Amino acid sequence: MKVIKRDGHMVDWCPEKIEIAIEKANKEVEEEDQASSTQIKNIVKYIERLNKKRILVEDIQDIIEMKLMSIGKYNLAKKYITYRYTRELVRRSNTTDLAIKELIDGENEYWNTENSNKNAKVVTTQRDYLAGITSTDITRRFLLPEDIVSAHDDGIIHFHDADYFAQNALHNCDLINLEDMLQNGTNINGVMIEKPHRFLTAMTIATQLITAVSSSQYGGCTITLTHLAPFVRDSYNRYLDKYKGRKFKKEECEKYAKEDLKKEITDGVQTFQYQINSMTTTNGQAPFLSVCMYLGETEEYKDELAMIIEEVLRQRIQGMKNEKGVYITPAFPKLLYVLEEDNIKEDSKYYYLTELACECTAKRMVPDYISEKIMKESKIDKNGNGNCYPCMGCRSFLTPYVDENGKPKYYGRFNQGVVTINLVDVALSSDKDFDTFWKIFEERLELCHRALQIRHKRLSKATSDVAPILWQHGALARLEKGESIHDLLHNGYSTISLGYAGLYECVKFMTGHSHTDNGKGKEFGLEVMQKMNDKCKEWKEMEKIDYSVYGTPIESTTYKFAKCLKDRFGIIKGITDRDYITNSYHVPVFEEIDAFTKLKLESEFQKLSPGGAISYIETPNLTNNLDAVMEVIKFIYDNIMYAELNTKSDYCQECGYAGEILIDDKLEWYCPNCGNRDHDKLNVARRTCGYIGTNFWNKGRTQEIKERVIHIDNKDSEE
């Protein structure tokens, strides 16, 4: 017999649950009013003798109440009714108190591993989570319709960042217009910040602006070093004037000015790096920051930009000191290095920077690489021109946009938010029938569409007053006080994202093949991706809102989706038998494939994920084989828009071991040298999704990390 639950899902009949429920009611009445164990078993047998294939859970409860009263247990029946009503309240009402208690007591696995860059033990992080629990509760009870909440709970879709949704002014991620704020002045907390006149000051102000912006949003943000390059020249001219004033010869003036400038650049980059990693936003963490290094953004200040890029790379190669004073890999900022004609060829002027980037990637997992050539082929604006620009945060990309002057605009734009569809659930719900699949897929996409419309409508209520640093003082706009941000949500200025997860499992279940297999598997995978793009185009034309397909990182949601799939469909070999599902369009982590084949294949799917995507290869330690790293970098330039190399960068504080920290069969991290398992004494850095995580992960993500295969042969790396 199958029991149909309130949400429509079917589970196996479990008589023990009936017995437990009546026994709980028994404890609330006098002994003479209690039902005996025999009477309870007779009620269970009565239900079983009905011989129903399916029965509603509400009907079962009605029968229990009726049978208790028929044997004269009226007080017990009342208590059971009260128990039933209380359970209903627990299901439907505010569970905030319990969540808060579990957070504060450190008892909840979800909060302890929700974000690999947040430490739930720290009071600033707890304060953010406390607010998030309240926001989530308000969102569920008042702001979202019941069917969307139910679909989210069941892992059919994921309504992202419900812990920030109660505040209608918060958006997802952006490209900060640092140029506007530095060149034209800005304002932080009512304090005017005037244009700086030297590089060190500009770098210091930049960290303050980044922290202020990050505190007014919930996603990642990106700046470009190009906006800081003019201040390098300002500093050089100041030093030059100083030595000229001392009557030095021209050659001496230039020599000493360059020496002073070099030290200031070193100090400025160091200040930036330390402040970004030591400051805490209102989200209870360091700013989720990416830094773009793109020589092609300027001709006038290209040499100055190259000087900053060089120093950023050198300091990242060195790393930052941990509690023991040992240099380790920091999580932030993420570095984005754009590959272009000026730096990809050995005889090009700035190839030395790419060599530094190569060394940095081998040791510290950054920078990640954007191919200017490939990006310009896919990001075509309305004037027919190719565009190249960084992602917002770790992977979210804007659509091309041309301003009223006919010029492309990237910085000062943003993303409104994400709702993700679980493609695996669509496949399993269809039971391999393709007609049913496309019908369910259409319904689920429209469910995501309605959820995204709710996000958009809530954000559209905001005025510039809610976050002056964003909307009034240049980070994203220069609106007047009280002015609506509504216009910035339409006609391509900002984007809104239809996320997706589990393409591999979806294709595997429906076709029996991986989407990496040429033929039916790959064809079906591309068809699914195209369908999502077609829907986004349809919605965009109707509403003048830039919907865009986004390869969701699902850091903690991968575990949630996997658990929900098991609950709904049981264990299906190769599909639901792990504690995670595959991110976006990625080749599954356990599939044997070489680096170049993987990147080439994923480039086809990346083109169909214009709202955000990143590909990676998993590597052994390549610090002694930079030729292999450079070969991959050059391959990225010619074949894929955005990719990264995942190396290993760990440290054990107990014994000083600096090799790879391992994961055992119970998914526990340990030092292979001394056996240390204390997370507080292990420095582990892994690419979680796009960002580097350093605070460990939930069970599902840990299993995914453990099962990652190497895409570059170990022997090749040692040659």
Residue 714 annotated in active site: no
Rounded to an integer, what distance in angstroms lies between the CA atom of residue 203 and that of residue 274? 11
From 550, 559, 616, 691, the catalytic residue: 550
Structural element, H or E, at residue 590: none
The model's pLDDT over 225-264, given as tens digits with 9 standing for 90+, comes to 999 999 999 999 999 999 999 989 999 999 999 999 999 9
Question: Which are the contacts of 183, defined by CB distance < 8 A and separation ≥ 6?
Answer: 195, 230
Give residue for tokens 């001219």: 237
Mean pLDDT of 46-59: 84
Catalytic residue from among 117, 172, 649, 683: 172
* DSSP state, residue 460: T
Give phi and psi for 163, each to the nearest 5.
-70, -5
Name the band, by pLDDT with cuts 50, 70 and 90, for residue 505: very high
Most confident segment among 134-138, 403-407, 502-506, 695-699: 502-506
The answer, yes or no, to whether residue 484 has pLDDT greater than 80, is yes
Report which DSSP code applies to 51: -
Q: What is the mean pLDDT of residues 346-351?
A: 97
Q: Which of 307, 358, 391, 394 is catalytic?
A: 394
**Which range, of 33-42, 110-119, 432-441, 662-671, averages the lowest pLDDT?**
110-119
The answer to whether residue 396 is catalytic is: yes
pLDDT band at 22 (very low <50, low <70, confident <90, very high): confident
pLDDT value at position 105?
65
Structure tokens at 490: 């339409």
- pLDDT-based confidence at residue 28 (cuts at 50, 70, 90): confident
Confidence of residue 100 (pLDDT cuts 50, 70, 90): low
Per-residue exposure over 20-52, b if at least 16 CB sit within 10 Å of its own CB, e if not:
ebbeebbeebeeebbbeeeebeebbeebeeeee
> Given 415, 430, 556, 615, which residue is catalytic?
415
Q: Has 172 been annotated as catalytic? A: yes
Q: Which of 292, 392, 641, 671 is catalytic?
A: 392
Between CA 717 and CA 638 the distance in angstroms is 22
Give yes or no for a contact between 317 and 647, defined as CB atoms under 8 angstroms apart. no
Strands (E), 436-552: 495-501, 546-551
What are the two backbone dihedrals, phi and then psi, of residue 406, each rounded to the nearest 5 degrees?
A: 80, 15
Identify the residue with better confidence: 125 or 333: 333
Looking at per-residue pLDDT, the higher value among 73 and 115 belongs to: 73
CA atoms within 13 Å, Cβ hemisphere of 296:
18
Give 629-634's long-range contacts (Cβ < 8 A, gap of 24+): 629/358, 629/359, 629/361, 629/362, 630/354, 630/355, 630/358, 632/595, 632/596, 632/599, 632/712, 633/339, 633/344, 633/354, 633/357, 633/358, 633/361, 633/369, 634/344
The answer, yes or no, to whether residue 172 has pLDDT greater than 70, is yes
> What is the model's pLDDT at position 240?
97
Question: 153 pLDDT band (50/70/90 cuts)?
Answer: very high
Task: Establish whether 392 is a catalytic residue.
Answer: yes
Confidence bin at 718 (pLDDT 50/70/90): very low
* Residue 462 predicted with pLDDT over 60: yes
pLDDT digits (tens, 9 = 90+) for 305-324: 999 999 999 999 999 998 88
Confidence at residue 615, expressed as pLDDT on a 0 to 100 scale: 96
Max mean pLDDT range (40-54, 78-92, 276-290, 571-585): 571-585
Q: How far apart are CA 450 and CA 493, in angstroms?
A: 21
Given this model, what pLDDT does residue 108 score?
A: 58
Give me the chain's average pLDDT, please: 90
- Given the residues 26, 173, 494, 698, select the one marked as catalytic: 173
Q: For 3-17, 205-219, 389-403, 534-548, which range has the lowest pLDDT when averaged over its residues?
A: 3-17
Prediction pTM value:
0.83
Does the structure show a pLDDT above 50 at 404? yes
Over residues 624-639, the mean pLDDT reads 97
- In this predicted structure, what is the pLDDT of residue 92? 47
State the pLDDT at residue 117: 55
pLDDT digits (tens, 9 = 90+) for 419-449: 999 999 999 999 999 999 999 999 999 999 9
With 90 as the cut, is the pLDDT of residue 95 above it?
Answer: no
DSSP for residue 467: -
In the residue annotation, 135 being an active-site residue is answered as no
Whether 550 is catalytic is yes
Active-site option among 264, 359, 555, 602: 555
Q: Quick one: what percent of the chain has pLDDT higher than 90?
A: 69
Q: What is the pLDDT of residue 93?
A: 47
State the Cα–Cα distance between residues 453 and 488, nearest whole angstrom: 15
Least confident of 79-83, 176-180, 319-323, 475-479: 79-83
Is residue 216 within a helix (H) or strand (E), and if so which, with residue range? none
Q: Which amino acid is at 333?
A: P
Q: How far is Cα of residue 93 from the mean position of the Cα atoms in its chain? A: 29
33-47, 620-634, 659-673: the lowest-pLDDT one: 33-47
Confidence category of residue 371, pLDDT binned at 50, 70, 90: very high
In the structure, what pLDDT confidence band is assigned to residue 717 with cuts at 50, 70 and 90? very low
Concerning whether 75 is annotated as a catalytic residue, the answer is no
* Mean pLDDT of the region 156-182: 92
Q: Which amino acid is at 172?
A: N
Catalytic residue among 155, 492, 502, 690, which? Answer: 690
